[in-house]
Amino acid sequence: MRVLYHLPLSPYARKVRLVLAEKRLPFELRLEKAWERRPEYLELNPAGTVPTMVEDNGLVIPDSCVICEYLDEAYPDSSLMGRTLAERIEVRRLTAWFDGKFAQEVTNNLYGEKYLRRLTRRGNPDPSSIRTGFTALRYHLDYIAWLAENRKWLAGASLSLADFAAAAHLSTLDFLGEVDWTISPQAKEWYARIKSRPSFRGVLADRVPGTTPPDHYADLDF
Amino acid sequence: MRVLYHLPLSPYARKVRLVLAEKRLPFELRLEKAWERRPEYLELNPAGTVPTMVEDNGLVIPDSCVICEYLDEAYPDSSLMGRTLAERIEVRRLTAWFDGKFAQEVTNNLYGEKYLRRLTRRGNPDPSSIRTGFTALRYHLDYIAWLAENRKWLAGASLSLADFAAAAHLSTLDFLGEVDWTISPQAKEWYARIKSRPSFRGVLADRVPGTTPPDHYADLDF
């Protein structure tokens, strides 16, 4: 069976889980406490990050972006990367936006500072990072709302990797109770739509020791 | 004519310039002081980063990774992404390594702290960042040496985007005189090989106001 080394709340691992589920590719999850830098894991992925995927045939694929590009090339049915060159540019641009800019401005501040820092015993969160994270989250929810108002899905007419990248980050923050959905009804409507897909069930069933998600986390009519 | 908005020392813009030149695709460079956040530029690329490419037909492509994926799909002759699935995984893994890990540990500390901070008048560099950058550079040169000893090019038997990503970061640091090539003769041998390619000429001819590169910068037998 295909194996995905992950952390339950890693948005990058969640993105890959969503894509695998959407493509109906079975996989087994293995918890990898990346910060422990386990030598056997570093051999699979010298960067030491999660996720890393290992295919049945032994092919090792590290890095969520590399995995998603690979999955669309190896299993092109129900492609999530767009069809035309212009569509593919927009899917990749927005995926890079969420995994780059959103991650740096929001996820790293609210998941990284507030949650990961505690988990890895690196001291108390920096209050200014948390303020920066919440301010940036409002601005990003507005951008998602603008995209969702003007398009069926974030990158255009079709569901794509861009939706899963965005939803993965937001689902992690939502698990931690950090998202005030009243800020943007349009962003909430888009998130409710993607959250209702069968591919989302695994992510909504996640539970981690010491943190209880808010009641609305797994509620499809939140 | 195809336009590339860039900064001369941006490693991401350099990577795209190298790929365009390697594929013999003509382009015109336009200087974009990204930190000025020019509204017309933000319309092309809301993330506000360089590079952004505009094709003759009006197609706008932001983000160096998106541009490089696009270029290989739109102009598949002399592909730089590898042929088999396994080769493509390794090319993308190493490209992500240099644009992610190397950038964060080395480039952001030595180019970001020492050069960009001064250029954008954000105060003095942080000495501890500079120390961290030099320590990480040694470790990364060792990794490049290990790859270059075991393979013809960094990702395998063929020249690929991984070589250009690595060379782009190192060329920026070399311009600023930050690379002590005596640390690793194997890394130097690989860099001399890629630097001798005709596609590298544009990057070696760069000059920026206020900074003179060391004599060896454009010397092919350095």
Cα A188 to Cα A219: distance, rounded to the nearest angstrom: 13
How confident is residue B194, by pLDDT bands cut at 50, 70 and 90? very high
Q: Please state which architecture CATH assigns to domain A3-74.
A: 3-Layer(aba) Sandwich (3.40)
Candidates B89, B92, B108, partner chain A, best to mutate (most A CBs within 10 A): B89
pLDDT at A120: 79
The gap from C-alpha A190 to its chain's centroid, in whole angstroms, comes to: 15
The first and second tokens of residue B23, run together, are 């594929």
Residues of B whose CB is below 8 A from A146: none
Residues of A whose CB is below 8 A from B101: 47
Cα A138 to Cα B2: distance, rounded to the nearest angstrom: 36
pLDDT at B171: 98
Q: Return the domain boundaries, chain A.
A: 3-74, 85-218
Cα B220 to Cα B8: distance, rounded to the nearest angstrom: 20
Residue A99 contacts B, CB cutoff 8 Å = no
Fold classification of A85-218 (topology level): Glutathione S-transferase Yfyf (Class Pi); Chain A, domain 2 (1.20.1050)
Q: A61 CA to chain B: closest CA distance, Å?
A: 7
Residues 6+ apart with CB under 8 A from B36: none
Subunit contact B61:A96, Cβ cutoff 8 A:
no
pLDDT in tens, B57-96: 999 999 999 999 999 999 999 899 999 999 999 999 999 9
Residue B96 contacts A, CB cutoff 8 Å = yes
pLDDT at A11: 98
Cβ atoms of residues A91 and A161 within 8 Å: yes
Residues 6+ apart with CB under 8 A from A76: none
Cα A218 to Cα A204: distance, rounded to the nearest angstrom: 5
Domain B85-204+212-218 in CATH 1.10.10.10: no
Subunit contact B100:A47, Cβ cutoff 8 A:
yes
Give the total residue count for chain B: 222
pLDDT at B222: 84
pLDDT at A49: 97
Residue B134, CA distances (Å) to B98, B114, B140, B178, B179 in order = 15, 12, 10, 8, 9
Cα A177 to Cα A211: distance, rounded to the nearest angstrom: 10
| DSSP for residue B208 | B
Cα B72 to Cα B6: distance, rounded to the nearest angstrom: 20
Candidates B70, B81, B93, B97, partner chain A, best to mutate (most A CBs within 10 A): B93
Within the 131-170 window of chain B, which residues sit less than 8 Å (CB to CB) from chain A?
Answer: 143
Subunit contact A93:B62, Cβ cutoff 8 A:
yes
Residue A74 contacts B, CB cutoff 8 Å = yes
Cα B14 to Cα B10: distance, rounded to the nearest angstrom: 6
Question: What is the DSSP secondary-structure string of B127-187?
Answer: HHHHHHHHHHHHHHHHHHHHHHHHSSBTTBSS--HHHHHHHHHHHHHHHTT---GGG-HHH
The first and second tokens of residue A99, run together, are 């995994």
Cα B222 to Cα B215: distance, rounded to the nearest angstrom: 9
State which residue of chain A sits closest to B92, comparing Cα positions: A66
The 10 Å Cβ neighbour count of residue A130 is 15
| Residue whose structure tokens are 């398009």 | A151
Residues of B whose CB is below 8 A from A86: 59
pLDDT at A152: 97
SS (H, E, C) chain A: CCEEEECCCCHHHHHHHHHHHHCCCCCEEEECCHHHCCHHHHHHCCCCCCCEEECCCCCEEECHHHHHHHHHHHCCCCCCCCCCHHHHHHHHHHHHHHHHHHHHHHHHHHHHHHHHHHHCCCCCCCHHHHHHHHHHHHHHHHHHHHHHHHCCECCECCCCHHHHHHHHHHHHHHHCCCCCHHHCHHHHHHHHHHHCCHHHHHHHCCCECCECCCHHHHCCCC
List the Cα angle A67/A69/A74 in 5-degree steps: 90
- Listed as ranges, residues in chain A with pLDDT below 70 are none
pLDDT in tens, B118-163: 777 778 888 899 999 999 999 999 999 999 999 999 999 999 999 9
Residues of B whose CB is below 8 A from A63: 92-93, 96
How confident is residue B53, by pLDDT bands cut at 50, 70 and 90? very high
Residue B123: helix, strand or coil by DSSP? coil
Beta strand pairing status for A3-6 and A28-31?
A: parallel
User: What mean pLDDT is predicted for residues B190-215?
Assistant: 95
